Amino acid sequence: MAGGSNLAIYGAIGANILIAAAKFIGASITGSSAMMAEGIHSMVDTGNGLLLLLGIKRSKQEPDKMHPFGYGKEVYFWSFVVSMLIFAIGGGFAIYEGIHALQNPSIATDATINYIVLGAAVLFEGTALFIALRTFNKSRKGSRNLIKNIVKSKDAATFAVIIEDSAALIGLLIALLGTFLSQQLQNPYMDGGASILIGLVLLTVASFLARESKGLLLGESAGEEVLKEVDLILKENEFIQSWNLPQSMHFGPSNILMVLEIDLIDGLELGKAEQIVAQLRENIQKKIPVIDQIFVHVTQLEE
Amino acid sequence: MNTSGSNIAIYGAIAANILIAISKFIAAFFTGSSAMLAEGIHSAVDTGNGLLLLLGVKRSSRKPDAQHPFGYGKEVYFWSFVVSMLVFSVGGGFAMYEGVHAFQHPTPNEDPVWSYSVLFAALLFEGTALYISLRTFNKNRTSKSLLKSIAQSKDAATFAVVIEDSAAVIGLAIAIMGTFLSQHFGNPYFDAGASILIGLLLLLVATFLAHESKNLLLGESADKSVITKINSLLRENKFVEKWNVPLTMHFGPDNILFTVELDLKDSLSLEESQEVIAQIRKDIKGKEPRIGRVFIHSKDLEK
């Protein structure tokens, strides 16, 4: 799973480096400062991909005294940081560019370079989005609705890339439309309007990404399928009389902490009971390997 | 218990910032200084930081639900992190910008009376706020060194206020020095240098606050003193043979998750062992009321 999200991130980094190069070349030919600023923007996007990689790498640190449950949530933390950067640098920057363009309206005499850069960027971002979606769809279950799946997903690095790539692609299409309309209608305000629209798209997706990473940072429960599977294992065990709803928390896409309260049938020896608990733990971890920490508290549950 | 304490510290910070913002706006109105106006806006943003911390404290007390079975305690840590980002960008970035701007356009300060009045009023307000927040913080202080105590503290809202107030007081002292030196030597660059120094200070403390809130968000263990207390409790229990190091995590200053694997005397029956475990659970919560959830996994620890 982690290998999958790495691939999606590498795709995003590769695309953004190529787009930054295209924009810088375009800027050096046209001398456009807007194109230059756009190039810097793509370099920041590249940095976002590196931050996600950093998060994945740091999430694998071994638990220590200060963090006995490990560092899995590093991924969620860095996804949140990326969302703030998209909000401030992506969204803020595009809106600033738009307002600046509306105050100093101008129509490019020759839009060829713009079209080439934007077209190349669509190609690169499209490829990156394709790779990211293919990674994401592998772990996608049930619902066909992409947004619903992202809300349910615990793999923040992958869905951060999908959100970023989709927003970039929509932004590029808006930019193409803006350039086309300003040429066609000879209306200098179209370009500035397109920039502001792109800024609004980025602010929206950044807020969505921030909300999702925040939920995971605070501690989200395992998904319904996992809980159902655990329920099934408990139901099949003849020694277990009753149990409370398991409490669980994701520390990463494939690290779940689960605590269980169960009541065993009466008349067992303690040694036997400990054996049953040990087997139950092993059984759950074997069938659902994403549950990597499990505590079984045997207690008297009132019916 | 701590919550009301950190609330007092936050209210102190909010009140101080409102009063400072008003002083700056009044001075800006009479002098027409745009720098003073910008400073007033800055204090208004600082007021907003206090409100965000209050929001975090309030949201953290929400009841657990299916999606967040361990509750929302970490909201406090999340909003402290957001505040650290705002201190970094709005506080630090803004002061640096003001300083660089002042270097590029040095204007000799004609009458420093307004500057001095505002700075000393601000020093009075921030000093009072710092005194209140330190009194709150010292109640649960763990070490003689303030930095060490902050690093060990789990009460992010309170230490965020302590850090913010301390930085503000030091910043004001630097600003007074800058004003005095540029008056004394007739050299406006002292003023600009002071702004940049204040900016660096804010970047530094914001990074420290970000680091501390991040650690708490990822999941920090309880203090050694808490573990020691529980260890001695387990040692005194004649039914407990041995146990592994307990795994703990703070969800808020007064909200600890506690899990331990222990081995009970083999001669016990299952019913007796359940009674022993129930009693240990009760004892642990009695000894350390901040421990909200206890899970005891009974296990054969003979190798």
- Digit-coded pLDDT (tens) for A184-235: 998 888 888 999 999 999 999 999 999 999 999 999 999 999 999 999 999 9
Q: Is B241 exposed, middle or buried (0-12, 13-18, 19+ CB in 10 A)?
A: middle
* DSSP state, residue B154: -
Q: What is the pLDDT of residue B207?
A: 97
Report the pLDDT averaged over residues A76-84.
Answer: 96
Alpha carbon distance B103, B55 (integer Å):
39
CA distance B299 to B192: 66
If one counts every other C-beta atom within 10 angstroms of the C-beta of residue A147, the result is: 10
Q: What crossing angle do the helices spanning B2-31 and B113-138 adopt, rounded to 10°?
A: 180
What is the mean pLDDT of each successive set of 10 residues along chain B, which is 303 residues long?
70 95 90 80 91 95 92 96 94 90 79 88 95 91 87 93 94 91 88 92 96 95 93 94 94 94 90 92 94 92 66
Residue listed under structure tokens 């105050």: A103
State which H helix or E strand residue A139 sits in.
none
Structure-block tokens of residue A257: 């902490």
Q: How long is chain A? A: 303
CA A91 to chain centre: 18
Q: Which pLDDT score, from 0 to 100, does residue A2 have?
A: 47
- B107 neighbors B188 (Cβ within 8 angstroms): yes
Count the alpha carbons within 13 Å of B82 in the hemisphere toward its beta carbon.
23
The token pair at A301 is 């549950």
d(CA A52, CA A50): 5
pLDDT of A143: 67
Angle at A253 between CA A247 and CA A258, to 5 degrees: 20
DSSP H or E stretch at residue A185:
none
Placement of tokens 């592994």 in the chain: B244
Amino acid identity for residue A24 in this structure: F
Mean pLDDT value across residues A157-179: 92
Residues of B in contact with A77 (CB under 8 A): 214, 217-218
Backbone φ and ψ of B153, nearest 5°: -70, 150
Return contacts of A117-121, CB within 8 angstroms, 24+ apart. A117/A22, A117/A23, A117/A25, A117/A26, A117/A35, A118/A172, A118/A175, A118/A176, A118/A179, A119/A176, A120/A18, A120/A19, A120/A22, A121/A19, A121/A22, A121/A23, A121/A168, A121/A172
Give B295's strand partners.
Answer: B259
Across the range A253-279, mean pLDDT stands at 91
φ and ψ at residue A287, rounded to 5 degrees: -75, -30
Residue B272 to residue A74, Cβ atoms within 8 A: no
A251·B300 Cβ contact <8 A: no
> Is B182 strand, coil or helix?
helix
pLDDT attached to residue B23: 93
Report how far residue A14's alpha carbon sits from residue A3's, in angstroms, rounded to the nearest whole number. Answer: 16
B220 to A271: CB separation less than 8 angstroms, yes or no: no
How far apart CA A212 and CA A76 sit, in angstroms, is 9
Name B161's Cβ contacts closer than 8 Å, sequence gap at least 6.
Answer: B6, B9, B10, B12, B13, B50, B53, B129, B133
CA B204 to chain centre: 15
Q: Is A263 exposed, middle or buried (0-12, 13-18, 19+ CB in 10 A)?
A: middle
Extended strands (E) in chain A: 240-243, 247-252, 255-264, 291-298
Please determine, for the modelled complex, whether the ipTM score is greater than 0.85. Answer: yes
What the block records as the tokens of B109 is 């300060």
List C-alpha distances in Å: B260 to A68, A230, A299, B231, B283.
12, 21, 15, 10, 14
SS3 category, A68: coil
Q: Which of B60, B61, B62, B70 to mutate to test the interface with A (most CBs of A within 10 A)?
A: B70
Residues B64 and B114: their CA atoms lie apart, in Å, by 52
Q: What share of chain A is helix, strand, coil (3-state, %, to 5)?
A: 70, 10, 20
Q: Please state at what angle helix B189-219 crosses helix B75-86, rounded to 10 degrees.
A: 160
Q: Does A271 touch chain B (CB under 8 A)?
A: yes
* Residue in A107, A121, A129, A92 with CA at minimum distance from that of residue A26: A121
Matching residue, tokens 């010292």: B138
| Residue-wise pLDDT tens digits, A112-143 | 998 999 999 999 999 999 999 998 887 766 56
Taking any CB pair shorter than 8 Å as contact, residues of chain B touching chain A are 66-72, 74-75, 78, 85, 89, 214-215, 217-221, 245, 247-249, 251, 259, 261, 264, 266, 268-274, 277-278, 293-300
pLDDT of residue A140: 66
* A positions 234-263 inside 8 Å of B (CB): 245, 247-249, 251, 259, 261
Contact between residue A46 and residue A128 where contact means Cβ atoms under 8 Å apart = no
- Partners of A214 on chain B (C-beta within 8 Å) are 78
